[in-house]
């Protein structure tokens, strides 16, 4: 394999966390600019330099309005932790999500409410994408279960299915940037999905995204083509922007996240982009300065969990997936995992 499965697991969770933090930082800076210069048009505001950003850049408190999007990365980490403790998917209680002490004794709570979108669900169910990356039927079944218990909008689980399918393809080293979206569209148009009226807009947006990629269009053109609003896009638009940012520069984690931040739907699009880029490029593909950032400056969007804690959760999740009885004792240097007879000692 190009990268180890452990490195890809770690890349997905850490990439999503970094993406949400970068997106949150950009969103906060934009809000601050609007408050400081309310009479100015957004195009006239000062340039926000994202190339010097690093985890912890937004540690200074910024006063925010209630319109600030909430991060779903903390839900993904909660589900990851519960899945590890349960030793599998069966028996997880998802209807009332309390988040006890994911971080240094600090307690946070989250309760799912009606209106959960496909973009929200795609981030929240990242552990589903990881745990069932090799089992399409169980991944779909789990997504439908989570969508039902989260009271998600119609079509939300299908959108999440499409995005987590991209994650699964990357984990299996089957993700082709040129062919991923056509493959997703073909599956969505199959008999098992064709009756869903809510999918028509999503499929249309996916086809527009593929055209943008084939023609090599820039981010400005992608925003104009995909966004119905320059401020906040729909769930399908966010997912398509994340796919565009990831697939247009698939080998450059940093550039993909910066472009996602500038897309105009920063926190959600960045979180999705970070997860997919982390799956494709793995943990080692994340810039070293971001990976080695002081744990004190870890992302608030995922409940303040440090990068080291995220890597540990990813390692233990891989242990549970591979059938280890006690994931706590799983070694940091993971041995090769393969079907019997495929890899043998010399």
Q: How many CB atoms lie within 10 A of CB 50?
A: 18
pLDDT at 208: 96
- Is residue 203 within 8 A of residue 185, CB to CB? The reply is yes
For 96, phi then psi, to 5°, come to -120, 105
Residue 60 has pLDDT above 50, yes or no: no
Angle at 97 (CA atoms; ends 93, 102), nearest 5 degrees: 110
| CA nearest neighbour of 258 among 239, 268, 245 | 245
- Exposed, middle or buried: residue 75 (CB in 10 Å: 0-12, 13-18, 19+)? buried
pLDDT at 327: 61
Which of 14-28, 40-54, 149-163, 302-316: highest mean pLDDT? 149-163
- Return the pLDDT at 32: 74
Per-residue pLDDT tens for 230-271? 555 789 999 999 999 999 999 999 999 999 988 866 678 999
Q: 222: pLDDT confidence band, cut at 50, 70 and 90? A: very high
pLDDT over 90 (residue 291): no
Question: 143 or 192, which is more confident?
Answer: 143
Q: What's the 3-state SS for 298-330? A: CCHHHCCCCHHHHHHHHHHHHHHHCCCCCHHHC
> Under a CB-based contact definition with an 8 Å cutoff, are residues 21 and 58 in contact?
yes
pLDDT at 343 over 80: no
Model confidence over 70-115: pLDDT tens digits? Answer: 568 888 888 898 889 888 887 666 655 544 333 343 444 455 556 7
Q: Which pair of tokens denotes residue 263?
A: 């897309």
* pLDDT higher at 36 or 308: 308
pLDDT (0 to 100) of residue 55: 75
282 three-class SS: coil
Higher pLDDT, 221 or 327: 221
pLDDT at 132 over 90: yes
Q: Would you state the pLDDT for residue 63?
A: 40
- Mean pLDDT score, 155-181: 95
Average pLDDT over residues 274-295: 86
Category of 313 on φ-ψ map: left (φ > 0), alpha (ψ -120 to 50) or beta: alpha
> pTM, whole model, 2 decimals?
0.84
Per the listing, tokens 């959960």 go with 116
The residue among 201, 119, 210, 112 whose CA lies nearest residue 159 is 119
Q: Which domains does the chain have, with CATH numbers?
A: 5-36+68-329 (1.10.4080.10)
Residues above pLDDT 90, as percent of the chain: 42
Ranges 12-16, 67-71, 98-102, 297-301, most confident:
12-16
- Answer yes or no: is pLDDT of 275 > 70: yes
């Amino acid at each position: 394999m190009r990268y180890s499965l452990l490195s890809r697991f770690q890349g997905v969770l850490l990439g999503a966390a970094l993406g949400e933090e970068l997106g949150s930082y950009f969103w906060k800076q934009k809000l601050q600019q609007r408050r400081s210069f309310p009479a100015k048009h957004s195009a006239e505001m000062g340039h926000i330099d994202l190339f010097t950003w690093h985890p912890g850049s937004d540690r200074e408190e910024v006063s925010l309005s209630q319109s600030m999007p909430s991060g779903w990365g903390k839900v993904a980490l909660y589900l990851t932790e519960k899945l590890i403790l349960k030793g599998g998917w069966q028996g997880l209680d998802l209807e009332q999500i309390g988040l006890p002490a994911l971080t240094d004794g600090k307690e946070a709570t989250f309760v799912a409410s009606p209106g959960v979108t496909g973009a929200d669900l795609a981030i929240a169910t990242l552990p589903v994408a990881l745990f069932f990356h090799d089992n399409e039927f169980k991944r779909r079944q789990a997504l439908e279960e989570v969508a039902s218990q989260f009271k998600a909008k119609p079509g939300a689980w299908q959108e999440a299915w499409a995005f987590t399918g991209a994650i699964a393809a990357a984990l299996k080293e089957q993700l082709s940037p040129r062919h991923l979206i056509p493959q997703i569209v073909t599956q969505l148009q199959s008999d098992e999905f064709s009756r869903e009226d809510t999918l028509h807009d999503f499929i249309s947006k996916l086809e527009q995204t593929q055209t943008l990629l084939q023609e090599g269009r820039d981010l400005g053109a992608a925003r104009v083509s995909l966004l119905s609003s320059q401020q906040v896009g729909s769930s399908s638009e966010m997912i398509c922007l994340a796919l565009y940012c990831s697939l247009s520069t698939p080998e450059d984690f940093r550039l993909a996240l910066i472009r996602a931040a500038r897309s105009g739907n920063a926190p959600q699009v960045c979180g999705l982009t970070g997860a997919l880029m982390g799956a494709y490029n793995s943990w080692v593909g994340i810039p070293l300065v971001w990976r080695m950032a002081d744990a004190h400056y870890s992302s608030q969007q995922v409940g303040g969990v440090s990068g080291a804690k995220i890597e540990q959760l990813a390692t233990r999740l891989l242990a549970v997936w591979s059938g280890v009885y006690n994931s706590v004792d799983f070694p940091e240097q993971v041995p090769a995992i393969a079907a019997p007879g495929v890899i043998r000692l010399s």
